[in-house]
Amino acid sequence: VNLFFDNFLTFFDDSLLNVISKKCLELSNQAYQVNNGNIPKWSQVIETIDALPKCKVALKQPYICINGDSIDSELLMDSLQKLKPWRKGPFMINDLALESEWNGDMKWQRITKHIRPLINKRVLDVGAGNGYFTLRMAMEGAKRALGIEPFLLFNYQFRAIKSMIESPLNA
């Protein structure tokens, strides 16, 4: 499973990061060639989600809501549960809450007044975890929101969430 999206390199076309983007992709791919017994299970989750119809994403406090009329919510949630623990959230898949250890919305309420406006900004989210805040910044209108995260499971979680979304966010 490719943890990056087809548009990863073009994501940086209009910034100075385009000079180093290929090297970043190469180094990231090397870093993920680790001997981790969970990778087959996590990759299967991504393949399952990639095969499903895409969903709409919206913010309905406090959740990032992912809604799809033709999605089997229970199948999707069963797949996402294989990527536990979910540290950051909350996410809502159709009418089912994806449990997370931290309520990121509480932190978001504290920091949002210090980082707004995000419209047309480029944002780097260091230690992005599963991308909850990266997605929030993209939903607030960031031109680009890039999350970097060394923990492999969290990268799979972000890939799973991003794979469900119909309209591309700049994250």
Per-residue pLDDT reduced to its tens digit, 37-66: 898 999 999 999 999 989 999 988 889 999
Residue 123 in contact with residue 146, Cβ under 8 Å? yes
CA dist., res. 102 & res. 89, Å (int): 6
Per-residue pLDDT reduced to its tens digit, 105-142: 999 999 999 998 999 998 889 999 999 999 999 999 99
Residue 7's pLDDT band (boundaries 50, 70, 90)?
low
Concatenated DSSP letters for 27-67? Answer: HHHHHT----TTHHHHHHHHHHHHTSPPBEEEEETTEEEEE
- Amino acid at the residue 91: F
Query: Model's pTM, two decimal places?
Result: 0.88
CA dist., res. 71 & res. 97, Å (int): 15
Which tokens hold the place of 16?
Answer: 């100075």
Give residues with Cβ within 8 angstroms of 35, minimum separation 6: none
- On the 0-12 / 13-18 / 19+ scale of CB atoms within 10 A, 167 is exposed
Radius of gyration for the chain, computed over Cα atoms and rounded to the nearest angstrom: 16
Residue 11's pLDDT band (boundaries 50, 70, 90)?
confident
CA dist., res. 170 & res. 11, Å (int): 8
Residue 65 in contact with residue 57, Cβ under 8 Å? yes
CA quadruple 110, 101, 2, 138: dihedral, nearest 10: -20
Query: What pLDDT sits at residue 134?
Result: 93
